[in-house]
Amino acid sequence: MMDGLKLGVAGVGTVGSGLLRLLAARKEELAARAGRPIEVVAVSARSRQKNRDADISPFRFVQDPIALATDPAINVFVELIGGEGGAAKRAVEAALASGKHVVTANKALLAHHGPSLAALAEKNRVALNFEAAVAGGIPVVKVIRESLQGNAISRVYGILNGTCNYILTLMEKEGRSFAEILKEAQAQGYAEADPTFDIGGFDTAHKLALLTSLAFGTRTSFESVYVEGIESITPADIEAAGDLGYRIKLLGVALRTESGIEQRVHPTMVPKHTAIAEVDGVSNCVAVDGDFVGDVMLIGLGAGSGPTASAVTSDLIDIARGHILPPFGTNAKALKPYKRAQMRAHEGGYYIRLSVYDRTGAFAAIAGRMADQGISIESIVQRRPGAELPGFNRREESPAFVVLITHQTTEAAIRKALAAIERDGHVDQKPQMIRIEKL
């Protein structure tokens, strides 16, 4: 058997502890599968004494992750620190420059610096593997980078954040408010004390930027992702979606179009009969549309100690076997510049919720504003008095809760129409807009 693969693990939190437990529990099996032992020789963390779910006492402790990254006793640096810059970036750069393979779960780092890090890895003929950075235990990076290479991919999309999916699932099943369920998710550890990164859609956007690069052979462009979170979703929207035959999910969507690449993250109404609509709780889902393979969908746990450690271990086994590929499937120099797509019609139309004052001419004015932008209305439903719904203010002219479903149109047209409707003063609060996606 070949000499062992010597690991230096930086970051021994949830994922790092899970990795140490997995490597210990599967030591013999992994050595047989990889053709060589996989051994942790040193770790780095902020504190050596912190209580953890894994024992780090058998390993040499290195305070500075950059020193660990260049340690001559290791040949693989496992970066589980997190963050788009700082110590994580410096340590990964140091490891690659010194000829160490790198395995990371850091989607923010790669979304912002992926192409330059890939170029550094290729220059030094080492691996930069990141299966764990997208959708936890779902092996989507390997699927796109290896299994689907014979396809021209037209679209990749999915549920990429378990916290948001958990909140939306409970809002639907239990009829409770976003704020109430978020507080519960924080207490149970599904959401951070500051949940903005998750519920604001930024975590999904980082992962989508990586999927876009893998699928379309472009340089990562996180700044080009349109990002909208789930903070504005109300029980009224959840109920209306159900009545109309939809469920609301936070989706990341990347499309190849004639004018360029479109990347967007936003709440979306998906038909109840689709597989993605059935993905509940903290699970993730990634779907890829290829010209020869058709539609491929992967579903599983997208975060957590076990699933993410599983993905890291898969990357380590590839390195142990000598299976080294360009990080994004194409040589870094060959990655095309990202070209943002032009604004175009959204094929699925839009759901619009309005709280409209019950006064003469209000509905006619709203219809006129829609017509001014060339927006065709598929249906309009007045559901019940807005004063009965959570979050609606009761005034002398009690507002009515109105739902509009449009035919396909551009987002620019919708936003102009809604801005005009707000200026006219016929609505009680800011209109709600959710895209309806045809999947």
| 100 counts as catalytic | no
* Catalytic one of 173, 207, 249, 336: 207
C-alpha span between 304 and 300 (Å, rounded): 11
C-alpha span between 303 and 308 (Å, rounded): 6
CB contact at 8 A, 132 and 308: yes
Q: Residue holding tokens 């179009």?
A: 257
C-alpha span between 250 and 265 (Å, rounded): 7
Query: Structure tokens of 283?
Result: 């699970």
C-alpha span between 413 and 396 (Å, rounded): 32
Strand partners, 79: 10, 104
Backbone dihedral angles phi then psi of residue 123, each to the nearest 5 degrees: -60, -40
Residues catalogued as catalytic: 207
